[in-house]
Amino acid sequence: MELEAYVRGLPKAELHLHIEGTLEPELMFTLAERNGVDLPYRSADELRTAYEFTDLQSFLDIYYQGAGVLITEDDFADLMGAYLERAHADGVRHAEIFFDPQTHTERSIGFETFMAGFARAQQSAAERLGITSALIMCFLRHLPATEAAATLDAAGPYLDRIEAVGLDSSEAGFPPGLFAGVYAAARDRGLRAVAHAGEEGPPEYIRSALDDLGAERIDHGVRIVDDPDLLARVVRDQVPLTVCPLSNIKLRVFDTMADHNLTALLDAGAAVTINSDDPAYFGGYIGDNYLAAARDLELSRADLAQVARNSIVATFLPDDRKAALLTELDAFAR
Ligand code: HPA
Ligand code: ZN
């Protein structure tokens, strides 16, 4: 079997995916027209050429601007539906999907609108394609923790449709400890916890995400290699790392794919997973991320199957569903 068919065929889970980061330029233009929103670009192609990033913040500025075209329940349903179709085509059986409520509530678009749109597309994809999904509500860390707490309150009526809380946006200067209170409140309400840490921030932020937030997975986490003791702990406890190779190159976390430390993390025994982060902005969906890592880091098929296995084990799915997916993976990868 060709490498590409193998990669796309591997049964896998996606655990690091921002739904607002799946907004393709073409859909952005369609929604802008539908909603009468002016975009400062003349075409989808011209917009694509603006996707030259120097770091996380240079991306976030464009990403928040793009999300401004998302207004109606249908917009959120179309966005979610398009992602789930693509994920299904890449062998994703289950996705745990970030959304940024504050990006929408600050524009007076409420939970009732985006949650209804998401739910409609999630149900439809589950019925038509068999792909299941869960939602992770992220707090924007560049905004005060009091606003994160207000967001958790606003989510109250929808908590049965939210699996976990997460933490994203500008990392440096916004340590996880700022959000210890709102994470404790979220965990008290039955939510699981993950957090972005160690993308641009230091290993100390990863330790704080684990100790102060109770994070069960670390999103990105690649800078953990700067702290061998912490890496040893994450290997011992098999704390999953949701690594996003194409994102890391686009945002200059590593100069080239050949410089990426994914292989070192895998060789150390870390529970590495491969994910797409913001695929509409970074040049590829999850299958492209597996492929880029396979080609440039010379991952073997056994390595790729191990990464897919890690992704299934790292989900928040019940044990019986995990076991069924692992059986399916073993049958494919044998
Ligand atoms: N890091 C932090 N915040 C984000 C990202 C990311 O990679 N993508 C979307 N929001
Ligand atoms: Zn991310």
Note the pLDDT tens digit of each residue in 246-259: 999 999 999 999 99
Q: Is 86 helix (H, G, I), strand (E, B) or coil?
A: helix
Q: Which residue stretches of 95-143 are H helix?
A: 101-105, 111-129
Q: Is the pLDDT of residue 221 over 90?
A: yes
Altogether, the residues listed in the chain come to a count of: 334
Give the per-residue pLDDT at 334: 87
Q: How confident is the model over 181-193, as a mean pLDDT?
A: 99
Query: Which structural domain range is residue 255 located in?
Result: 3-333
Cα 101 to averaged position of ligand 1 atoms, centre (Å): 14
21 ligand 1 Cβ < 6 A? yes
- pLDDT category, 310, cuts 50, 70, 90? very high
Query: Could you give the C-alpha distances from 285 to 62, 245, 277, 302, in angstroms and in order?
Result: 19, 11, 8, 21
Cα 184 to averaged position of ligand 1 atoms, centre (Å): 22
Q: Which residues of 216-251 are buried (b: 16+ CB within 10 A; e: fewer)?
A: bbbbbbbbbbebeebbeebeeeebbbbbbbbbbbbb
Q: How confident is the model over 260-271, as a mean pLDDT?
A: 98
Structurally, the chain folds into a number of domains equal to 1
Instruction: Give me the percent of the chain exceeding a pLDDT of 90.
Output: 99
pLDDT digits (tens, 9 = 90+) for 203-217: 999 999 999 999 999
The protein residue whose alpha carbon is closest to atom 7 in ligand 1 is: 277
**Which atom of ligand 1 has the smallest separation from the CA of 169?**
3
Give the per-residue pLDDT at 20: 98
In the block, tokens 């794919």 appear at: 257
Q: Is 270 helix (H, G, I), strand (E, B) or coil?
A: coil
| pTM (predicted TM-score) | 0.98
Q: Which CATH number is 84's domain given?
A: 3.20.20.140
Q: Is the pLDDT of residue 127 over 90?
A: yes
Rounded Cα distance between 203 and 276, Å, is 22
The first and second tokens of residue 126, run together, are: 């589950």
The pairing of strands 132-140 and 92-99 is parallel
What average pLDDT is seen over the chain? Answer: 98
Percent of the chain that is helix, strand, coil (3-state, to 5):
60, 15, 30
315 ligand 1 Cβ < 6 A? no
Rounded Cα distance between 119 and 104, Å, is 16
Rounded Cα distance between 2 and 7, Å, is 9
What is the DSSP secondary-structure string of 13-72?
Answer: EE--BBGGGG--HHHHHHHHHHHT---SSSSHHHHHHT---SSHHHHHHHHHHHGGG--S
